[in-house]
Structure 1
Amino acid sequence: MNRLSLNDWGWGEFRIKDLFETFIGTNGLQTPTGAYIPKKDLIDSITPRITVRDTNNGIDGYVESRHKNFRVFSNFISVSFMGSAFYHPYEASLDMKVHALIPRNFELTKNVSIFLIRSMKNNTKLFSYGNQLSSTDLPYQRILLPIDERNDPNWQFMEDYIKQEQKIITQKIIDYYKQQIFQEKFDLHGLEDIEWRTFKFNEIFKEIKRGKRLKKADHLEGDIPYVSSTSLNNGVDGFIDNKESVRIFQNNLTIANSGSVGSTFYHQYEYVASDHVTSLTLENADKYIYLFMATIVKRLEEKYSFNREINDRRIQKERLILPVNESGHPHWQYMSQYMQKIEAANINKVLEYMYISGSAGIRDGDFAG
């Protein structure tokens, strides 16, 4: 079977209101949208709350509410006024300035939604930063889609095209990780069969350095991860372009001093550290050693809390329990191999699933002709 191409069919221009539900509101034709609800009226529960955030599928928490403006939608695409767009096959509630694209007269599947979102993002006017797209502007925005013989959107082609791209990506992932497993076969003692010893933080880390304060108003939009005290998204709280009067690190750990105290993450990439995290750097450690150490350092979550922060003095006095070699020194090779073995076991599980399902996720950036 020949590979499907985006050039196989003609393309047509469609307005959002031709494809998705709209209604007549006080300001004219508009798409369904979310609404502001005071935090005191939101109760922790199971319904995803979709906000304008561009990570975690827009989900900012799981809630319920009896507030009159608490609106729930299902099987829709959320579009925020800042340009993020996600597919939600489940029931979800929308915050203010997040709009719901609910299909009219076609079946919205995961694959079709991936195609639609990519096409929407190709509309630079629709998703330009700062455009602050309103629910009354959205119905009149246009997107290009492949069309069938009747000049209608070719939904089946979109479905088949994304399935094809998923299979190609799946095979690349399988080939890569199979090779990884072959490279990581070795015998290893269990954690209970190796000796452990207590060390001070400053005996283990060659550098323990707190990040530097950078006021929100001074953030410059860019591509450098800004790591703060959040427990989500590997601690990344945004992306900035600041290079002066900041502290930049790479290939080490961060531990949150406040906020989500004790949250610990490994950063293989260059990042800017806020004053709410401390950077922990080892001597000549690979990523597997850092991943092992992250699980050990994270145990400080049990000791500290929002009301008891990890300040510079306290962290110097903290202790770690680590596996040691015959000389009584940290057994770095064991830590590295232990994490590699865990990775290989998890890769096996993923490959088994992928072989059975024959599918894998596809990102926006993977969508190409």
Structure 2
Amino acid sequence: MNNLSLESRCWNTFFIEDVAEIVSGRDIYEKERWDGLVPYITATANNNGIGYFVANNNDTLERGCLSVNRNGSVGYCFYHPYEALYGNDTRKLRLKRNNRYVALFISLCITKQREKYGYGYKMGTGRLKRQRILLPVDASDNPDWAFMEAYMKQKEKQILKPTIERLCKQLITSDILGGGKTLYSNWKEFVFGEEFSIQSTNSGIDKNKLNQKDGVIPYITRSDLNNGMDMFVTEQSLRYKVDEGNVITIGLDTQTVFYQPTSFYTGQNIQIIRHAKLDRYNAMFLIVAIKKLVEKFSWGSYGATLTRLRKSRVYLPATDNGEIDFAFMSSFMKEVEHNILNTTLKVFKDRISINKSKMGGGKMEELPLV
């Protein structure tokens, strides 16, 4: 099937319980939670519903399910092809047709219904079972699973093709810039505040005083999600100065460290790290070292302060002259990027080739794998 369209199909309404078994999750309370590698699904609209990674196990551990938030970010529906644990603020859906592409299609259909729900009208098990969703149907008026699968494969190919082309260009650029040519470097301890400019943010706008009108300027907070960005905002009043980009931001008390390539505003208690030789590559290297540095700060007797940060020592690559080796850090991270791009590109190309073969199409248009 080629050039599939939603408009060309017949549609009908179905209860969610007609297409999926609905099961309650079970909470893992914070004091019982152990850090690990198992995704723990909570009522968040971010990170595909993953709130934490844990080492716990309980009877909600399962692979290949949908999750629906019944609290917090009510109504968002996500697909989990991996083994995951599900909290009580989610409902786990076991689809009667367990297929990745069908699951993605249905998750979008469910999420479209979220506007009618909220804190006072939660999407609990009973309401979820009787919630109607529109689905394409076959000649027998049953859900057209084959169409849903084929349509989502088509959408995936449409999305991945420009992504692959962009990755190819990035990979070529990475080669030109020196990817794959890491140099040897010595290492040395440096006093952080003697090598870098460390200042409080120019803005520091409390969120309740923020002009939250949509714009293009990132508003950076101490969150550990989305590069620290809470939202995009418009220009603020003149009392708040925008911070220039090409810097590293630190939320000391939350130990969050990110590179900001463009101008931005911030919430409170954000520190700004600047250096004339900073770029997006060596910044990624430095972030790892800075995170190690701030891990020692705590809420107790050795709290996170700007003075302590400036006096702290950080272990970094050094040149023969004993200066920080920014060139080495940039070269190293270019090689890391080069390897990631190459691997990602191969995965995407393989996925499209497999889908094309399953759909009975001809040979996929070749894209260069450099």
TM class by shorter chain equals: 0.7 to 0.9
Which residue number in structure 2 is paired with residue 279 of structure 1? Answer: 272
Which residue number in structure 2 is paired with residue 25 of structure 1? Answer: none
Encode CA deviations 1:35-60: one digit per residue, 9 max, x unaligned: 45544455556654321012222222
Instruction: Tell me if the contact between 2:293 and 2:314 (Cα under 8 Å) persists in the aligned partners.
Output: no
| Mapped partners of 1:256, 1:325: distance in 2 | 29
| Mapped partners of 1:111, 1:76: distance in 2 | 12
Which residue number in structure 1 is paired with residue 193 of structure 2? Answer: 201
| Mapped partners of 2:146, 2:10: distance in 1 | 14
Q: Secondary structure at the match of 2:126?
A: coil
Following superposition of structure 1 onto structure 2, how do residues 154-233 of structure 1 map, counting pairs within 5 Å? 154-186=144-176, 190-193=182-185, 198=190, 200-205=192-197, 207-209=198-200, 212=204, 214=206, 225-228=219-222, 230=224, 233=226
Which residue number in structure 1 is paired with residue 252 of structure 2? Answer: 257
| AA matched with 2:80 | H
| Mapped partners of 2:36, 2:192: distance in 1 | 41
Instruction: Tell me if the contact between 2:282 and 2:329 (Cα under 8 Å) persists in the aligned partners.
Output: yes
The question of 1:146 aligning with 2:136 is answered yes
My pick for the range that moved more, 54-63 or 43-52, is: 43-52
One of 119, 129, 135 as aligned partner of 2:125:
135
Q: Secondary structure at the match of 1:185?
A: helix
Instruction: Tell me if the contact between 1:212 and 1:247 (Cα under 8 Å) persists in the aligned partners.
Output: no
Following superposition of structure 1 onto structure 2, how do residues 282-293 of structure 1 map, counting pairs within 5 Å? 282-283=275-276, 285-293=278-286
Which residue number in structure 2 is paired with residue 87 of structure 1? Answer: 79
The question of 1:13 aligning with 2:13 is answered yes
| Mapped partners of 1:241, 1:185: distance in 2 | 36
Encode CA deviations 1:142-191: one digit per residue, 9 max, x unaligned: 22221111121111111111112222322222211212222232558644
Which residue number in structure 1 is paired with residue 49 of structure 2? Answer: 58
Instruction: Tell me if the contact between 1:34 and 1:94 (Cα under 8 Å) persists in the aligned partners.
Output: yes
| Mapped partners of 1:75, 1:329: distance in 2 | 51
The 1:127/1:351 distance shift into structure 2, 3 A limit, reads farther
| Mapped partners of 2:318, 2:35: distance in 1 | 43
Report how far residue 329 of structure 1 moved.
Answer: 6.1
The 1:213/1:157 distance shift into structure 2, 3 A limit, reads same
Encode CA deviations 1:261-296: one digit per residue, 9 max, x unaligned: 3x4221335655444542223447432242233233
My pick for the range that moved more, 78-87 or 307-316, is: 307-316
Gaps of 5+ in 1: 22-30, 361-369
The 1:247/1:101 distance shift into structure 2, 3 A limit, reads farther
| Mapped partners of 1:209, 1:96: distance in 2 | 40
Instruction: Tell me if the contact between 1:167 and 1:359 (Cα under 8 Å) persists in the aligned partners.
Output: no
Report how far residue 313 of structure 1 moved.
Answer: 0.8
The question of 1:267 aligning with 2:260 is answered yes
Q: Return the TM-score normalized by structure 2.
A: 0.74
| AA matched with 1:204 | F
Instruction: Tell me if the contact between 2:137 and 2:144 (Cα under 8 Å) persists in the aligned partners.
Output: yes
Aligned residue pairs, count: 340
Instruction: Tell me if the contact between 1:323 and 1:335 (Cα under 8 Å) persists in the aligned partners.
Output: yes
The question of 1:76 aligning with 2:65 is answered yes
My pick for the range that moved more, 6-15 or 331-340, is: 331-340
Encode CA deviations 1:203-253: one digit per residue, 9 max, x unaligned: 433x521584847x88898875542164x55345x5486957978646321
Instruction: Tell me if the contact between 1:198 and 1:321 (Cα under 8 Å) persists in the aligned partners.
Output: yes
Encode CA deviations 1:69-101: one digit per residue, 9 max, x unaligned: x64555321111222221123444332331222
Percent of aligned pairs with the same amino acid: 26
Q: Secondary structure at the match of 2:284?
A: helix
Q: Secondary structure at the match of 2:175?
A: coil
Which residue number in structure 2 is paired with residue 118 of structure 1? Answer: 108
The question of 1:347 aligning with 2:367 is answered no
Q: Return the TM-score normalized by structure 1.
A: 0.74
Instruction: Tell me if the contact between 1:253 and 1:266 (Cα under 8 Å) persists in the aligned partners.
Output: yes
The question of 1:108 aligning with 2:98 is answered yes
Gaps of 5+ in 2: 355-370
Q: Secondary structure at the match of 2:125?
A: coil
The question of 1:311 aligning with 2:294 is answered no
| AA matched with 2:65 | F
| Mapped partners of 1:58, 1:302: distance in 2 | 26
Encode CA deviations 1:18-40: one digit per residue, 9 max, x unaligned: 2223xxxxxxxxx4323455444
Instruction: Tell me if the contact between 1:212 and 1:273 (Cα under 8 Å) persists in the aligned partners.
Output: yes
Instruction: Tell me if the contact between 2:297 and 2:304 (Cα under 8 Å) persists in the aligned partners.
Output: yes
Instruction: Tell me if the contact between 1:222 and 1:239 (Cα under 8 Å) persists in the aligned partners.
Output: no
| Mapped partners of 1:43, 1:197: distance in 2 | 33
Encode CA deviations 1:316-338: one digit per residue, 9 max, x unaligned: 22345555678876555554444
Report how far residue 354 of structure 1 moved.
Answer: 2.8
